[in-house]
Structure 1
């Protein structure tokens, strides 16, 4: 079977079994999207390229832990990429504490589609949904999930308690999800 037609779930499963050809195909089909996630956070092409290699090493090592019940493969891999990029940022800002895992991963579950399947209409729907949010909540969501800001950094930036930031992020994600589901 042509590897280009194999679903990402199957490629991850084969990668978990040590199949290097499946891993190569997985890389070819997902690296551009993952690089985009990393670059959006780090804003440095050279660092992003290095982090991408780290991410694929982790995917190779952890492919067996992927569970389709929790989302699509690209979502799982994008979460790994995002977390690694944020780790790099936090390493350069040691005064920032690390958040507990949780709601911040929700943003990747909202769309859960392979980058090749996301069309202009989907992007337009996302833009409209973001536009319907209160401007401060939209700013929190975009800074947290696309720029890699931690809750602590947002609290400091907006001079607000961390609990308030956490609540606004959660409400923002729920509003975004509701809007996207209606579309």
Structure 2
């Protein structure tokens, strides 16, 4: 995987490619991709939004991560706030960098790209902590986040329009630097 580099990307311009990666990695259908494409393009224009891609030598996107300073007025924050508040963790909504999406194409998983993407993305933030949500089950993603210092702030979080439950996780920044890929 030495031919894969992580670099900042123009999320708005590369949103269709990013959603192709997410569709394969997360099992999304065409209708859901179309809805998410509009959301990603809107997020790309928000203050402080940053995106990084895992790119092959020919520029093909095989992974991406994006996020922004958290804003309590954003939809995601309004959904998770009651769960965090119930656990005494609502302060995590302030002065936090939100990792909005992180996906790696299955062919490129397991070699450290997810770790490199999230540490590079959060490493650009001057904020003291990071928050994210992940499916509330024991997945490789949850294992990755825990290995980076994320801990559960709330579990069994219900987002509208999905039967899946999510965990909201938080970690102090900076995250530990990743070892060289493949090490």
- Which of the pair has more CA radius of gyration? 1
* Structure ranking higher in helix proportion: 1
* Structure ranking higher in strand proportion: 2
With normalisation by structure 2, the TM-score equals 0.35
With normalisation by structure 1, the TM-score equals 0.35
